[in-house]
Amino acid sequence: MKRAALYMRVSTVDQHPETQLLDLRQLAAQRGYAIMREYTDTLSGTKSKRPGLDQMMADARRGRFDVVVVWAFDRLARSTRHFLEILDELNHLNIEFVSFRENIDTGGPLGRAMIIIVGAIAELERNLIIERVRAGMRRARLEGQQIGRRPLELDEAAIARDRAQGQSLRQVARNHQISTATVRKVLNRVHPPCVERVKTGPSGTRMNTGPETAA
């Protein structure tokens, strides 16, 4: 027996969810669903904060039911995009979706075809958003605007001087409000590490010719 969640929404306090509730309970009984919980919101469909819907999606992520039953598409989401996002998430959670008015059931062939279409539209929407973001970043760069965090402005001479005076890497990092890794990078730029030049003598012995600054 499949575990079902019923979701209802009415736009004003003058409307009553009982009308939707009776239809959904009857539908659940006909299909042999076990109703785990009923979720209700009393507000406009355009409102972004919907406690009932938010709680239902949280329970869906916890695997507390197998199918979501709603009275109509427009009762579930505040916009087409929002509806596609919800359906896409339910599909990824392996939760079926049933709408009473539209007679859509994602557990059937027509419903599964609809999910494929919804998934493709949702992916297209995500790609369009990504492309718009990238286009905005390209335009900002062309206009000379800074993208992301500004580079650190470091007093490399002061960092090298503090280290030369005997301060530890942690002390230098704390004084200049940077990480110890950044301190090491600065010191390597100011005082590159030295390597030893080794030559082989006539008899094959190794000869140390002294330190050489790394390029």
Encode pLDDT of 46-55 as tens digits: 556 789 999 9
**11 an active-site residue?**
yes
Tell if the pTM clears 0.75, that is, is over it: no
Catalytic residue among 11, 48, 79, 179: 11
> 């008015």: which residue's tokens?
101
Domain count of the fold of the chain: 2
Whether residue 198 is predicted with pLDDT greater than 90 in this model: the reply is no
**Among 4-18, 20-34, 131-145, the least confident range:** 4-18
One domain, residues 108 and 187: no
Whether residue 195 is predicted with pLDDT greater than 70 in this model: the reply is no
pLDDT score, position 214: 44
Mean pLDDT of 194-215: 52
One domain, residues 119 and 169: no
One domain, residues 164 and 79: no
Mean pLDDT of 200-208: 55
pLDDT score, position 192: 67
Whether residue 122 is predicted with pLDDT greater than 70 in this model: the reply is no
Among residues 58, 79, 60, 81, which one has the least CA distance to residue 69?
60
Average predicted confidence (pLDDT) for the chain: 80
Residue 145, in any domain of the structure: no
One domain, residues 120 and 171: no
Q: Backbone phi, then psi, for 130, in 5-degree steps?
A: -60, -45
Q: Backbone phi, then psi, for 200, in 5-degree steps?
A: -100, 125
Burial of 78 (0-12, 13-18, 19+ CB in 10 A): middle
Whether residue 78 is predicted with pLDDT greater than 60 in this model: the reply is yes
CA distances from 95 to 7, 92, 173, 188, 191 (A): 14, 8, 51, 56, 61
pLDDT score, position 33: 95
Whether residue 203 is predicted with pLDDT greater than 60 in this model: the reply is no
Domain boundary among 111, 126, 141: 126
Q: How far apart are the first and last CA of the chain?
A: 72
What's the token pair of residue 46? 């355009």
Mean pLDDT of 133-145: 83
One domain, residues 115 and 173: no
Residue 113 belongs to domain spanning: 3-126
What's the token pair of residue 59? 């329970």
* 194, 213 Cβ separation under 8 angstroms: yes
Residue 178, in any domain of the structure: yes
pLDDT score, position 102: 81
The answer for residues whose C-beta is within 8 angstroms of residue 15's C-beta and 6 or more apart is 42
pLDDT score, position 215: 43
pLDDT score, position 107: 81
Among residues 33, 36, 37, which one has the least CA distance to residue 2?
33
Domain boundary among 104, 126, 148: 126
Half-sphere exposure of 46 (CA within 13 A, CB side): 0
Residue 210 pLDDT grade (very low, low, confident, very high; cuts 50, 70, 90): low
Greater confidence, 35 or 187?
35
Residue 133, in any domain of the structure: no
Residue 137, in any domain of the structure: no
Helices 80-92 + 51-61 axis angle, to 10: 20
d(CA 65, CA 44): 26
One domain, residues 108 and 39: yes
